[in-house]
Each structure stands twice: as structure tokens, then as C-alpha cells.
Amino acid sequence: MRPLRQILAAAIAAVAATLMLTAPARAQPESTWPSKPIKWVVPFPPGGAMDLIARTLGERAASELGQPVVIENRPGAGGNIGADHVAKQPADGYTIMITSIGMATNRALYPKLTYDPVKDFAPVSLLAMVPNVLVVNAASSVERTVKEVIARAQKAPGKLTYASAGNGTSIHLAGEVFASMAGVQITHIPYKGSGPAVTDMLGGQVDLMFDSITSARPHIQSGKLRALAVTTARRSAALPDVPTLAEAGVTGYEVSPWFAVFVRAGTPPEVIARLNKVLNTAMKQPETLRKLEGVGAEPIGSTPQELAAHLNHELDRWGQLIRQRQIRAD
């Protein structure tokens, strides 16, 4: 039998050898990632603000990472089809997803959600915020202020209509928050996307819309739509003369549609850290800022921890509102 000292020495040597062998393996994600193209899932159709933000930042990230960033649109079910796909991919950082407020609202809107927004995903970074703007038809509407809209709604509860891009979208929820905080009854008219909703707004078939500034601004600039207020806490640089809803009389109102990047839960922290650094650097580039401004987007940027805290706050806020006002996705 070998002396205890020899046994301990042999054990220590074995542990040291094991550590030497495994150290490079643990460092591998940081030193070799990415070694192949990265797929960036956009869970909505091409052409919107989310798609443009992903394509703009993806181009900058590809240059920095030395690998292509391939945009893949997987629309449907309020973003759930794309999110479900990403939740089932390997946790290696080669599939990332841009998402929006739906990451916080869909758990309450869809009773049979196939993924968990907290357990199945790891936060990377907040990207940008795109305000919604309360608009009326400039030709047919007499209302020029938010207070006049509220006064009209109070005189005829439920008669005033507002369009949205669909049940559970930020455009819909902005109207629900407005009705709740202003103490009025207005009738929601959901459409399959912002495009047909704006078409009916321009045609005078609906009275109001809390549209994304991306699609509303051209019609505001042409004089076809009248902007009454933005939904964010601060005025938008894209429409600096338009007050916030809080300034316009609905004290405390704020709906700030945000966009953020998530990856599959379990992705190595060093990969997340590199993604975070690359995306936050990309958002500060002059060309990126110019393209974001073109759709009315305002860059934010954050740490993964700040995004996690933001998501938890939004889950609580929207969950309460959706249950309180019995909002459904169908």
C-alpha cells in the first residue's frame, strides 16, 4: 500500500492535469465564437421597424464578428412562431432573436404559450424604442387635442373607434391604457397589420389610432393624419413639436414600445457578453443612427442584467392590464 502522502500527491497531480485539459474547452466559446454564420430571427414580416433594426445592426455586427449575420423572418401568432423556433435551437449563440413588447405580453395573451419568455431565453441587450403616436384623420376629424378626444368620448361612450395592427399589439395596448387612464370607453377595431389599419384611418372608417411612428410619420408629414400626442414619457426626436400624452392631459401615461435581443437560455455567458458589446457598439455608429432615425427609432442599449429587469417589470405591468381589461389575442 502506498503511503498517504503519495496518494495525495498523485490525486493533486491528476486534478491539475484535468484542469489543464479542461481549461481550453471552457475558454473555447470566447476564443472561437463565431466560427460560422449567425442566424438572426425576426418574428415579424419584412419591412417593419423591427426588421429594419435587425438588418441594420446585423450588417454592423457581421463586420465586427467576421461572420455573416443572416436575417430570417418567421412571422405569425404575434411573434410566437419565431420565438418558439428560437427556444428549440441549440444554446450556442448561433441563433439570436429580436423581439418587442410581445415578449412581455404574450404570456398573458396566449393561454397555451409553447415557450417561457424568462426560462427559455437569455437576455442580451435592449436595442431601441419606437414611439407610438395618437393620430386622427386630418380631413374628417375636428379634434385637435387629446382633451377634445376625451371630451368627445365622454359624451358618447363606446362610439369612438380606434384601429390597431391586431389584438395584443403595442398599438392595441396603447389604446387600452389610454381608455383606462382617461376613464373613457372607446371601441377597438383590430386589423391584420398596421398597413390596412392606416388605410382605413386615411379613409375615415375609424376615428383614432395609436400607430407606430414608423408608419404614421409619412402621413403626418403629408398632412393626411394629425398627430395629437406620442405615447412615450418624453417627446420623440422624430416629432419634436408633438406633446406626450402625459403633457396633453393624461397624467402618468407611458407606453414605450421597445426592441431587444435574446438568445436561447444556457448560451455561454462569454458569447452573450461579446454579442452585447458588438450590438451596443453598432448602435453608436453614425450610419446606424441615421438609419434608426429614418424609422423614428431611438437607440437605448443595455446590459443583459438591465434587460432582464426590464422584462420582469414589463411582464408584471402588462399581465395586470391584460387580465384587468380581459384582453384576448384572438
Convert 126-161 to b/e letters by CB count within 10 Å (16 or more is b). Answer: bbbbbbbbbbbbbeebebeebeebbebbeeeeeebb
pLDDT at 208: 96
pLDDT (tens digit per residue) in 320-330: 999 998 888 76
Which CATH number is 35-129+257-324 given?
Answer: 3.40.190.150
Identify the band that residue 165 occupies on the pLDDT scale cut at 50, 70 and 90. confident
Pairing state between β 298-299 and 258-264: unpaired
- The Cα-based distances of 202 to 145, 149, 315 in angstroms read 19, 18, 34
C-alpha cell belonging to residue 62:
457581421
Report helix, strand or coil for 50. helix
Residue 299 above 50 pLDDT?
yes
Cell triple for residue 30? Answer: 470566447
Over residues 46-55, mean pLDDT: 89
Residues 162 and 166: their CA atoms lie apart, in Å, by 11
Question: What is the pLDDT, as a whole number, of residue 13?
Answer: 43
CATH code: domain 132-230 is: 3.40.190.10
Q: What percent of the chain has pLDDT over 70?
A: 90
Q: What residue has cell string 460560422? A: 36
Binning pLDDT at 50, 70 and 90, where does residue 46 land? confident
Confirm whether 35-129+257-324 and 132-230 share one CATH topology. Answer: yes
pTM: 0.83
- Dihedral angle computed from the Cα positions of residues 27, 30, 33 and 38, in that order, rounded to the nearest 10 degrees: 130
Percent of the chain with pLDDT over 90: 79
* 7 vs 173, higher pLDDT: 173
Give yes or no for a contact between 194 and 166, defined as CB atoms under 8 angstroms apart.
Answer: no
Beta strands in 43-166 (DSSP E): 69-73, 95-99, 121-129, 132-137, 161-164
What is the residue-averaged pLDDT of the chain?
89
* Predicted pLDDT at 47: 80
Q: What are the grid coordinates assigned to 204, written together?
A: 375615415
Per-residue model confidence as pLDDT tens digits over 179-224: 999 999 999 999 888 889 999 999 999 999 999 999 999 999 999 9
Domain ranges of the chain: 35-129+257-324, 132-230
Task: Compute the distance between CA of residue 92 and CA of residue 80 in angstroms, rounded to an integer.
Answer: 21
Residue 316 CB neighbour total at 10 angstroms: 11
